Structure 1
């Protein structure tokens, strides 16, 4: 990889920046109503590239946001421009078009409580998602349309959910995840005495207790992903008393160390554990 010139300011950046960046999401912040990348944020990106947190040849996704100030149309355009500017900057850093899996602008971040004319700095951002949006390959549960006999699964045994696609840094999944969720749903309905725990896991080293969830603004990503699966099952008729959920952050990696996108995807997963039958 071609490394960029080392800014003098890089020497005084806290080392924890690089550990924290090995999350599902990297945040680049913007001034109010501005789409140009600030020099301090350029320095952040340069530093992450220098330390191989962001690497050409590895997939990434880019999502732009705006705060609630301004019209919906303006905020969508602003978020798209911000995301595009990050892409352009990364291309100038040696990344290729094929490295960038998706560039989208999602407009404003909805807030129940507004903050006057100041808005929210944390909403004026672009999220860079190392590894892109693909989920880890899973092998345990069968494809949609089939089922699994949970009574044959040993107590305390775990099964990985197949094809659960979470947006990086988010507990929201895409529609193409629903067949796998429905496979689990069907199995639980077929075996109404089985109790399970849904367990969330994330990839990438960090000095934080968990990954940052962009919806909650808290470091509880693995927990929220497990809870999202639990909520889906409850909404579709499974008694909540049969379901527990827990996030394990990165305490139980399947691949260690993580050397490839596949390693990271394998560690970024949701499992179910049979508690009783």
Structure 2
């Protein structure tokens, strides 16, 4: 199963409003940090003070469960040790854990996909006061803006297209919006879009577990199921790109009600070509 991992860059210039993630990758059966990984971790170490770091090591499934567990711990510890030397006492390294091959983000059917599972995820989170939460305004609706007024790389919302928790099944009130999306693409044959999937609530992983597929790429499966719907209606697959952004761009954070959670289980549209 194809999975495109969203990568945050230029960490030194990012202000943490909620939570962000960075991932570093490893060669098969190795736990040494590459120069590229060290450069990324150096950037993380320059972030603002008073942040919490949590580190999770992962493996592809090629070894035994016991071997993978140990290897993932060595990877997590290598990252933890490197970061600790860099951040000193400015930020808090809250936890370091090796998960073995428990948190596969794809089916590891190719070497490229296995490489995505040989990683360490670093979660960085700011502290919230009791009852505090962030609420961002949704983007303008893709269904109500004239194509001529849209800009390339501009992001739009898909009103009412939200999903059942832990699944890539949209709620019934999204049917009309998706029909409108199809009609817009049909009537504008040069239009190309990117569908960006989002999840809620799973703060211990980049992405959530899709209980239907068994993989940890729920945001991607949500975007991809809409792509498949549009393909089945006759839209050329080459005009649609599906990506998963995990929980890194919430409309509401942290989610305190089911309404909050539903709002974050969404797919947004980015214009790639008109």
Please give the range of the TM-score, normalised by the shorter of the 2 chains.
Answer: 0.3 to 0.5
TM-score (structure 2 length as normaliser): 0.46
TM-score (structure 1 length as normaliser): 0.46
